[in-house]
Amino acid sequence: MLSVIRNFEFECRHVISAWTLSSQFVILGTISGSLLYHQKSNPSKSCIVAFAELMDTITTIQLMSNRMNDLIIGTKKGTLGLVQVRCVQHKIMDQHYQAITKLDEEVIEVITHSNQAWIVCTSQKVMQIKYQTDLEGMIKIREKKILFEAEGQIIQVNKSEDKVLVSTWKSYFVIDLKTNEVVQIGSKEKQGIYGATFIHDDKGNWR
């Protein structure tokens, strides 16, 4: 496996396509498939993690809930991958990449549903992916289940407990993860890239 790690200044010229935050780093994905790790404690110095197997635009980055140095990434060509890094005193010492599965469409979002399941949104589908890990931390897919298939482009997804809010080019839908029921919100067709999100009201309820 060919991988590259090198230091670079914060004023980089990479085109950023996705981002997330960990306890130690601001992590940026690029259109070339590399990951930029900026130390929170010293943002002027960072490093690039790049893999020969990953030469595609990173469209989403999700921290694994129980493995905070590991990332799940999605790409424009539909690859779902695992990035593992080993950090010592805020520095990346080692890294590994595993292509987990290939989906048919661009990956829009990956949301943790449980310790061994994700909600994965592509450009036209929302699916639940269940997985298991071996002793070395590698991931094996156990089950893929399509929960929703849109007629047009999916713009955004948002999750609250057991419900997923899906925004498409023309409408909004809510998926109940307990019953797999899909309900359209509103009847008036919208036109444009407008997303939606659950909000937390004063009574502590999500709506």
Report how far apart the first and last C-alpha atoms of the chain are (Å, whole number): 46
pLDDT at 144: 95
Q: Which CATH number fits domain 3-105: 1.10.8, 2.40.128, 3.30.1910, 1.20.120?
A: 2.40.128
Round to whole Å and give the CA distance between 106 and 123: 6
Q: Which of 164, 163, 152, 78 is nearest to 122 (CA)?
A: 78
Predicted TM-score (pTM) of the model is 0.85
Give the tens place of pLDDT for each residue, 80-105: 999 998 876 667 778 899 999 999 89
Give the tens place of pLDDT for each residue, 17-39: 999 988 888 899 999 999 988 88
The type of residue at 29 is G
Domain with CATH 2.40.128 in the chain: 3-105
